[in-house]
Structure 1
Amino acid sequence: MAFVDSKMELTFSLRRKEIVEEEPLVADILKQWPALFLEDQICAEFYRITQTNLKSTFFSYLDEYAPQMIKLYRVRGGAHEDDMKTLLDQFDNQATALEGLPLFLREKSEHFLKTCLPEENHTKGMKMGILTIVEDDVATIHSNTNVRCLSLVLEEHIVLDNVQDLPTAMALLFGLIYALNMNYPKELKYTFEMIQKVFIGLDPQCSARVQSFKNKLLMTK
């Protein structure tokens, strides 16, 4: 692992120049820089770019804000009230806080957070997202015993498999967005802005919608 760390550190400038200037496909980056898609290297690359510890910062803020987020979800389900109620009935603090975020912000997450059976063509049409593969009945997704694995998907390719839980998957996907210089999905721009500016603390200037949500979180403490 020390050898990989050293090589990735030495090639950072070259890799960054190539990714930013040439904008290669994810499949080409995966072939050229396979180590970049390892969990440790995602975190290391994010630190090289932002000088911020990805996982510890993300989980620190998530721990702080998740209880307040759940309170707000229970008060107002937003545009997806039925979906929010179903989610809250399957309560799991951090994961529920993250899954409810796009619903509360009135965004669409069905193509971002997907659930499927092992035999299904699960990545087709999936530009960016988190895929949960379950053993049998998709309707029982929130049963931990039914989940086979979580995977990160970019441009219809599984780029990281066997992620331990949804919060970790969300943090690592955010790290990959920075490492690969990708844009946020338009349909989830406020969700990712929330992660960037509230959970990671990068850039304090928020849009009106995210600032409003942040203010509500601070008021419910």
Structure 2
Amino acid sequence: MAVDVGRVQQCINLVYLEFYRITGVPLKDTFFSSLDEYAPKIIKLYRSRSGAFGEDLKSLLDKLDQKTTNVVLHRKTTALQGLPVFMRENTNSLFKSCLDTDVEDSNLRGTQMGILSVIEDDGATADTVNGNVRCFSVIIEEHIVVDDLPDLPTALALLFGLIYALNLKYPDELKYTFETLQKVFMHLDTNLSARVLSFRNKMLRM
């Protein structure tokens, strides 16, 4: 199925404009500038502490180490995917995946807000290390609200923007992950919780 690039870009631009109207902060420039700066430090922090987080963080780093193309993008993606793990929250409630032949309501059920990776069905499982990601979608209240997005950082930035545009509350099980995006990446508040402050300080020392 062909992607309507113009429609997707229009959705992206509308979210960016509404976020700026609400906060006075440019979502795209601020988010990606912070990600450019922080991703290498975050990956170093993950590597230094991976043993304290069981297999989840180690698995993300192993997948990153297997990448041979688009390494910078994969590094940024891994930095974001690891946030819920490092915050000891449920990463599976934020990041989901399915095959492009299996995008059904069952994949969305119970998801208050999250990112869906749609994997090309070429005999692989719904696992981004074994298959090629065709696109990313933003889920809110069990519905795909924006789809055909090119990468996970863009999808997560849009999800964050939509939270503001729709005046949504962060899910309790992901409150520290979204606080990190709000206060560390977007610089929208300086009053950090102890957990997020600890993460920021450790990351900046890398």
Identity of matched residues, % = 55
**1:120 to partner: Cα distance:** 4.5
- Give the match for residue 156 of structure 1: 142
* Alignment RMSD (CA, Å): 1.7
> Offset of 1:119 from its aligned partner?
1.9
The two structures have a TM-score, normalised by structure 2, of 0.84
SS in structure 2 opposite 1:86?
A: helix
Could you say which residue in structure 1 is the equivalent of 2:177?
A: 191
Does the CA-based 8 Å contact 1:78-1:104 persist in structure 2? Answer: no
Deviation for aligned residue 1:80: 3.6
Give the counterpart letter for 2:102 in structure 1.
Answer: E
1:49-83 CA-partner distances (Å, limit 9, x unpaired): 00000011001111111111101101112664201
Task: Give the counterpart of 1:103 among 73, 82, 85.
Answer: 85
The 1:183/1:74 distance shift into structure 2, 3 A limit, reads same
1:112 matched residue in structure 2: 94
Q: How does 1:23-38 map to 2 (within 5 A)?
A: 38=11
Residues 62-107 of structure 1: CA distance to partner in whole angstroms, max 9, x if unpaired?
1111111101101112664201111101212100000011111111
Aligned residues: 184
**1:142 and 2:115 aligned:** no
> For 2:192 and 2:117, how far apart are their aligned partners in 1?
30
| Residue aligned with 2:92, SS | coil
SS at match of 1:193: helix
Question: Hey, what's the Cα distance between the residues in 2 that align with 1:182 and 1:80?
Answer: 30
Tell me which residue corresponds to 2:20: 47
Matched, 1:132 2:117: yes
Residues 120, 59 of structure 1: CA spacing in aligned structure 2 closer, same or farther, 3 A cutoff?
closer
Q: Post-superposition, which runs of at least 4 consecutive aligned residues in structure 1 deviate over 4 A?
A: none
Q: Between Structure 1 and Structure 2, whose CA radius of gyration is higher?
A: 1
> What secondary structure sits across from 1:204 in the alignment?
coil
Gaps of 5+ in 2: 1-7, 65-73
